[in-house]
Amino acid sequence: MVDSPQASNPAATSKRPVVLSVDAMGGDKGPATVVAGLARFLSENPEARALLHGPRDQLNPMVAKRRIGDRVEVCDAPDVVKMTDKPSHALRHGKTTSMWSAIDAVRDGSADVCISCGNTGALMAMSMLRLRKADGVNRPAIAALWPSRNPSGFNMMLDAGADIRADQDDLLTYALMGASYARNGMGLARPRIGLLNVGVEEHKGRAELKVAHDLISRAAARGDYEYVGFVEGGDFPSDRVDVIVTDGFTGNVALKTGEGTANLISELLKEAFNKTPLSKIAALLAMTSLQRLRKRIDPRRVNGGVFLGLNKTVVKSHGSADATGVAAALALGHRLALSGFSDKLAARVASAAALAQDATNDSAAEGDTDSADSGDRQAK
């Protein structure tokens, strides 16, 4: 079974089977890879069902070949959102695409969660249009997992690329949503939140980071999380923090850099152990340890970013995901649906808006007090 650390208690399962709405098109490797990943996922989750969206004449033979037709319904959607399409173009011309169809199945209640390997910008734009942002959310975020030294084996980072911008209020909302995800999805009663910066010293960083630092700190008690302050890039795999908050530009660059590094390490190890007869013998002797290392750093294992801040759950799989990666994203969506995560997050976001406003008001009030004190001192 594909490991997915986001599982909450499966006892929360609803009476009817969880239905996944899967966009079969848009991934770099084509629909055959998505169907292969779906078949792998279904073999480990016999109670799950899926709606598979795309051109019926292409998908039906693939589903038949994998012998999953009794648990998969193909929903005909003749067109595809291309990776090169701008979000605005996808919104104007996307009503007949597999992505639109997959999102609408969640909107109308036919499915519990949407999973797509397609164009991230288009998926976010369509999701916001069809599913709407939760009250109090200005910019939704993508939450992604990062292998770490924590007992769970992972840290969570957001935003991983939903929006390249984020002001101090957005960063506070990300912290609150991230805390909710870590609590409900990763089982952490009091998650530790860190704000990504170029150093841990309070005088470092852009102005909005310094303001966000203050806001997140003030909201910690009411948000039921521990704020550890600024963290650096080296803390991504550390056990100092559970949730790392940053803007989407920085987060996306960091995520892809980490994945590329993990793949490079795997390739270099393989090359080194195949170099000489002695190294091949050493590889055989260390096979079990090498397999554990490979599994630990394999980016496919944590494939799937969750869109936080929408009224329903959407999981974005990497466009280049293979069948293993697709299965991991499907497992994530399935387990979040089992936990009732969407409803729990909506409740947390509703309170997050109040917390954010309270923290902002507290900061402004303190600023006014400081100004008044300064004026008094000058008057004296």
What tokens were used for 186?
Answer: 């990763």
Q: What is the pLDDT of residues 256-309, one digit of tens each?
A: 888 788 778 878 888 888 888 888 888 787 777 767 766 665 555 566 788 988
Cα-Cα-Cα-Cα dihedral sign, residues 343, 344, 350, 352 = negative
Residue given tokens 């779906």 in the structure block: 38
pLDDT at 94: 92
Residue pair 330/5 in contact (Cβ under 8 Å)? The answer is: no
pLDDT at 243: 96
| C-alpha to C-alpha distance for 74 and 275, rounded to whole angstroms | 47
pLDDT at 99: 96
Residue pair 31/321 in contact (Cβ under 8 Å)? The answer is: no
Of 153, 130, 187, 148, the residue nearest 311 (C-alpha): 130
Residue given tokens 């995901």 in the structure block: 321
- For the chain (length 380 residues), average pLDDT per consecutive 10? 42 68 92 95 94 96 95 95 92 95 95 93 92 83 86 87 86 89 82 93 87 91 90 91 94 86 82 85 78 62 78 89 91 87 71 62 60 48
Question: Which of 195-229 are b and which e, b meaning 16 or more Cβ less than 10 Å from the residue's Cβ?
Answer: bbbeebeeeebeeebbbbbbbbbbbbeebbbebbb
End-to-end CA distance of the chain: 72
